[in-house]
Amino acid sequence: RGSPPESSSRSNILLLLSVLVLSAGLWAARESGQQTDLRMRRELARQARSIADTILPHEIRTLSFTAEDIDRPEFQRLSSQLSAYAGATGLRSIYTMALRGQKLVFGPESLNRNDRYASPPGTVFQEPTEKDFEIFYTGEAAVQGPDSDEYGTFVTASVPIIDPLNGEVLMTVGLDVEASVWKMEIRKAQWIPFLIALAPLGIL
């Protein structure tokens, strides 16, 4: 015997409602993830700008961005400044880069020179992106990634420090967040609306 028409109709309605609730939960999860990604990018850019604003252009001009900088007071002072900021904010790494010829080279950074990720002054960045170069020509800050290089896979915020005398980009300040950490934060944001949607779905 078949199911009564009323029972079949009720089942169809419940199925439709379940699909609608699940779809709404998935949409909300996607939107939450996108908004979280945008918010984190803005915050990373803000932090990079805050750091860049504390660095004086005349100190940068004294640096050669070579191994010779290691003993310069200006290099040591900037490195200590970046290290203190990283420690206060919980950032893994803050670094600087300058354009020398057709290559990007590292300057002062927050990492101790014994850290396995440390880059001594003058170290050439082997796997830069196009945006890493563009910032020296446009003078515009950028948040990019996740992108991979010889150090790992990161979302990166880069902010230029511009010479007020001639508009030249003296160097950039960079902040990295590991892609795995970034994606984990987005997943957390996505789970909340999805779990909320599961409650009425369970009742249905």
What does pTM read for this prediction?
A: 0.80
Within 10 Å of residue 28's Cβ, how many Cβ atoms?
16
Pair of tokens at residue 26: 């998935």
CB 174 within 8 A of CB 95: yes
Local confidence pLDDT in tens for the 204 residues of the chain: 445 555 667 666 666 665 666 666 666 667 777 888 999 999 999 999 999 999 999 999 999 999 999 999 999 999 999 999 998 888 888 999 999 999 999 999 999 888 888 999 999 999 999 999 999 999 999 999 899 999 999 999 999 999 998 999 999 999 999 999 999 988 887 776 656 666 655 555
